[in-house]
A = this chain, B = another copy of it.
Amino acid sequence: MAGSILGTIFTITTWGESHGKAIGVVVDGCPAGLTLAPSDIQPFLNRRKPGTSKYTTPRKEGDEVEILSGTFAGVTTGTPISMVVYNTDERSHDYGKIKDTYRPGHADYTYQEKYGIRDYRGGGRSSGRETIGRVAAGAIAWKLLNEFGITPLTYATSIGPIRISSERFDEAEINNNPLFMPDAKAAEEARAYLDECLAHSDSAGGVIECVVSGLPVGLGQPVFGKLDSELAKAVMSIGSVKGVEFGAGFQAASLNGHENNDPFTKTGKATNHAGGILGGISDGDSLVLRAAIKPTPSIAMPQKTVTLGGEETSITIQGRHDPVIVPRAVVVVEAMVGLTLIDALLMNCSSKLENLKKIYDCEE
């Protein structure tokens, strides 16, 4: 399938470049009967909007979403939902310099080689702005998932070398700091660390964790459509993600079997090293996923690189950039998880004949 389409039943097709006219998404396969308005979408977009703190790019974008199709009288009709956000503060003159020089850590070189042409303005399609479509679609996914009592909690567990402490974990703290860390002390330290990065024209990475509660048992289609398999694909498709893990994750590799196995009890699993997935199928426990985010590649210090012609040179990235991608990526990870879960939930309807008979009223 072409690269900008994701999903099987609940699908999204995203489009748009950083400095083009607009960014958008078409959601096809959304069940009919869901009340839906721009006010359901906007809060998700606002969580990734630039300019909300000094740790995000000062580019000013309203990022206001418009729904162009797929609803009638405020309710989804089962037809494709087209959503668009117009770009208003492109300022493409800021980016003129990168026309002829490849930025380290960016996709300039690979796009140029793959396609023979690239929209160099702001990274074009490889810009973080591409995620607007994902987030808008993710808002619909989560609205649907909420109908089944499924809810997410997403936050940063580390920024650079600063990690949250499990003892201090405080859900209420997440929206209290611009870094979305569930630990006030860690957030404070992380801010200090980022200030230092900014002072050195440098950037930082971090880790995002998404925990989903309320999942029914059964989501995931073995063997290649396993829930973790699809989630890994979806989350790894976010620009700066370099690793994805579930439950104990990479830690599990150094545990023994008796430590890592989660005993079953009458009330569920006693532990959750599995991260809520067994054999690629949700087990009714909380889904636990973590994504490693690399440091922002755009830094305002000189870096060695080459020109399109292959000459060695140096580049200093000017313009407006996030010193750390993590805070704005939190809602993107959440969106990708939601999109994957709703598709898995829809696919799972066909797992057993018994389900189908409920829908087609065969008992009667």
Contact = CB atoms under 8 A, between A and B. Distances in A.
Interface in A134-181: 144, 147-149, 158, 160-161
Given A243-B246, A353-B33, A263 B4 contact: no
Contacts of A353: 31-34, 144, 147
Contacts of A102: 264
A220 B265 CA distance: 44
Copies in the complex: 4
Contacts of A252: 205, 242-243, 292-295
A98 interface: no
Nearest to A101: B264
B236 A281 contact: no
A110 B278 contact: yes
Contacts of A218: 110, 113-114
A237 to B, nearest CB: 4
Contacts of A246: 242-243
A37 interface: no
Contacts of A229: 233-234, 236-237
B158 A78 contact: no
B224 A6 contact: yes
A1 B254 contact: no
B78 A16 contact: no
A31 B360 CA distance: 14
A303 B218 CA distance: 24
A3 B104 contact: no
Given A79-B124, A110-B282, A351-B32, A292 B362 contact: no
Interface-central residue, A13, A73, A237, by most chain B CB under 10 Å = A13
A26 B15 contact: yes
A53 interface: no
A207 B253 CA distance: 6
Chain A interface size, as a band, is 35 or more
A10 B5 CA distance: 11
Contacts of A10: 2, 350
B297 A17 contact: no
A73 B115 CA distance: 14
Nearest to A240: B252
A327 interface: no
Interface string A262-280: 1111100010011100111
Given A3-B223, A14-B223, A224-B4, A118 B72 contact: yes
Nearest to A86: B68
Nearest to A336: B224
Most interface-central of A31, A72, A115 (chain B CB within 10 A): A115
B349 A110 contact: no
19 contacts: A5-B11, A8-B8, A16-B82, A22-B68, A72-B124, A77-B125, A105-B274, A107-B279, A110-B281, A110-B283, A113-B284, A160-B253, A203-B256, A205-B252, A233-B236, A236-B244, A242-B247, A249-B292, A265-B304
